[in-house]
């Protein structure tokens, strides 16, 4: 029997100090670690960020997703981790991505800034659904544009 597939979507506050350079290098580090580890564990997903916050979708076998999420929550590069969605799923949304980096286009960055102002980090269920829709839209746009 296949392990149950599980998905978590969270938002958190970006705590990476310094300028754009340190942000870029920390993000590169996070993506490299994530891609190696997630590939081994059968985890897929997407990461979005701006200078204010992160949003991440993690999907895969439930125990693997829970374990990596525990580690992620301890990471000092962000804080105020809020889970917006956590549920079993039938199919993966990001089957081809150990960790996609989405949302860099100006249009998407604008959407994120708006969402951040809108929620003020008191994210409820509706915001979770909305964010999820945005993340999915970004991921698909990215795949279409082939700019990963």
Ligand X SMILES: Cc1cc2nc3c(=O)[nH]c(=O)nc-3n(C[C@H](O)[C@H](O)[C@H](O)COP(=O)(O)O)c2cc1C
The residues that touch ligand X, with contacts defined as CB under 6 A, are 30, 33-34, 37-38, 47, 54, 56, 58, 68, 71-72, 75, 77-78, 99
3-state secondary structure the chain: CCCCEEEEEEEEEECCCCCHHHHHHHHHHHHHHHHHHHHHHCCEEEEEECCCEEEEEEEEEHHHHHHHHHHHHCCCCEEEEEEEEEEECCCCCCCCCCCEECCCCHHHHHHHHHHHHHHCCCCCHHHHHHHHHHHHHHHHHHHHHCCC
Q: Which is nearer to ligand X, 19 or 144 (CB)?
A: 19
State the minimum distance, in angstroms, from the CB of residue 74 to ligand X.
Answer: 7
State the minimum distance, in angstroms, from the CB of residue 77 to ligand X.
Answer: 4
State the minimum distance, in angstroms, from the CB of residue 81 to ligand X.
Answer: 9
Q: Which is nearer to ligand X, 34 or 50 (CB)?
A: 34
Q: Which is nearer to ligand X, 74 or 87 (CB)?
A: 74
State the minimum distance, in angstroms, from the CB of residue 125 to ligand X.
Answer: 22
């Amino acid at each position: 029997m296949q392990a149950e597939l599980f998905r978590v979507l969270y938002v958190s506050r970006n705590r990476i100090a310094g300028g754009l350079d340190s942000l870029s290098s920390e993000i590169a580090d996070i993506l490299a670690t994530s891609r190696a580890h997630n590939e081994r564990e059968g985890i897929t997903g997407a990461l979005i960020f701006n200078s204010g916050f992160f949003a991440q979708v993690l999907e895969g076998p439930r125990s693997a997703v829970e374990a990596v999420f525990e580690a992620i929550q301890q990471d000092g590069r962000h804080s105020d981790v809020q889970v917006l969605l956590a549920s079993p799923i039938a199919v993966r949304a990001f089957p081809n991505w150990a960790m996609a980096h989405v949302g860099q286009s100006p249009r998407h960055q604008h959407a994120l800034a708006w969402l951040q102002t809108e929620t003020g980090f008191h994210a409820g269920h509706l915001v979770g659904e909305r964010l999820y829709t945005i993340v999915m839209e970004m991921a698909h746009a990215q795949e279409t544009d082939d700019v990963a």
